[in-house]
Amino acid sequence: MSEKTTQSEQPAVSQEQLDVLDQLLKPEVQASLTTLVDQLPKLTEMMTTLTKAYDVAQTLATDHTFRADAIGTVTEMATPVVKTAKDIAATAIEAKDRAADNQETIGLFGMLKLLKDPQVQGIFRFANAFLEVSKEHKATK
């Protein structure tokens, strides 16, 4: 038996493998690999933590009781917000319609009467407090 190997017995090296070898010979690639190897313990710890988090999320996502409770909680919290938003939208639409239908001119005495309205006073108090707080925040910056 001959120890020599013929051309047909040698494993073929593909162009893709040669490209990888060429890349590995570059100094910047070697430096990157060295950095990667140095960081392997941290990467392993991160992957372990991510795997645990994934497992918990997967368990919760497939738990029908948890999903039902989560949906119920979100619905319970969102319902008052949705109701308030709908009420505000309905009030705004109705006010717009009334203002469009009303051609009455509001004069000086009408303005003075409006100034005494409790809701208008509440808006003025809020606007005044907002401006004071805004001024204080600008002074502290």
> Whole-angstrom Cα distance, residue 14 to residue 22?
13
Q: Note the pLDDT tens digit of each residue in 80-120.
A: 999 999 999 999 999 999 999 998 888 999 999 999 999 99
Together in a domain, 93 and 136? no
What local confidence, expressed as pLDDT, does residue 95 receive? 93
Residue 6 falls inside a structural domain: no
Q: Are residues 24 and 91 in the same domain?
A: yes
**The two three-digit tokens of residue 13, written as one number:** 């090296």
DSSP string, 35-69: HHHHTHHHHHHHHHHHHHHHHHHHHHHH-HHHHHH
Does 2 fall in a domain?
no
Q: Would residue 8 count as lying in a domain?
A: no
pLDDT at 118: 94
Q: Which residues contact 67 (CB under 8 A, 6 or more apart)?
A: 60, 61
Q: Are residues 95 and 122 in the same domain?
A: no
25-60 residue pLDDT tens: 889 988 999 999 999 999 999 999 999 999 999 999
Q: Which two tokens stand for residue 18?
A: 């040669």
Between CA 98 and CA 88 the distance in angstroms is: 15
CA atoms within 13 A on the CB side of 88: 6
- DSSP symbol at 10: S
10-24, 76-90, 121-135: which has the minimum mean pLDDT?
10-24
Q: Residue 6: pLDDT above 70?
A: no
Q: Is the pTM of this model over 0.85?
A: no
Residues 112 and 57 in one domain: no
95, part of any domain: yes
Structural domain includes residue 124: yes
pLDDT value, residue 31: 92
- Identify the pLDDT of residue 127: 95
Query: Do residues 23 and 90 share a domain?
Result: yes
Q: What is the mean pLDDT of residues 9-20?
A: 72
Mean pLDDT of 62-74: 93
In this structure, the answer to whether residues 54 and 21 fall within a common structural domain is: yes
pLDDT band at 14 (very low <50, low <70, confident <90, very high): confident
Number of domain units in the chain: 2
Q: For residues 98 and 110, state if they share a domain.
A: no
Q: 43: domain range?
A: 15-104
Residue 13 has what pLDDT?
Answer: 67
Say whether both 84 and 113 belong to one domain.
no
Indicate whether 53 belongs to any domain: yes
